[in-house]
Amino acid sequence: MEKIDPKQLSPLVLAYIGDAVYELYVRLTMVQNNPTAKSRSLHKASTSLVRASSQAETLKKLLPLLTEEEMEQVKRARNCHVNHITRGATRAEYQASTAFEALIGYLYLANKQERLIEILANCASSEDPPEYPQFYNQAPQGDPE
């Protein structure tokens, strides 16, 4: 797979990737913290964390910790025009959650894994981030030679 320059992508595309990365992180955290839980209760718990209002709150908590480069990505995504708003979210919550997801997508695609893990650990309901090597693998870098 060819390396992707995240600075060349639309904030909405970054949010698309960030949504998947964050969802995976939340699910792994849920399973690690509750390995014997039923999938229905895991789903219910994880959806409460990935909804727009929760992500908006998470972003608010993270803002003081972000670098100038990360803030640039957040502002770029927050100001991006969206044609729809998720049911149950205000426009401000949706914009903030899009900005949060774009930040996660940017860090993932920029291969800033250490910083991504640090940011995600600040989001987690647990002090211990999941320890799954497949989650921490580097972002796609190109075809192996």
Of 5, 19, 128, 143, which is the active-site residue? 19
- Please tell me the distance from the alpha carbon of residue 74 to that of residue 45, in angstroms, as a whole number: 26
**C-beta separation of 59 from 15 below 8 A:** no
d(C-alpha 130, C-alpha 133), whole Å: 9
Q: What is the DSSP string of 108-143?
A: HHTT-HHHHHHHHHHH-SSSS----HHHHSPPP---
Q: Is 19 a catalytic residue?
A: yes
Which residues are catalytic, by number? Answer: 19
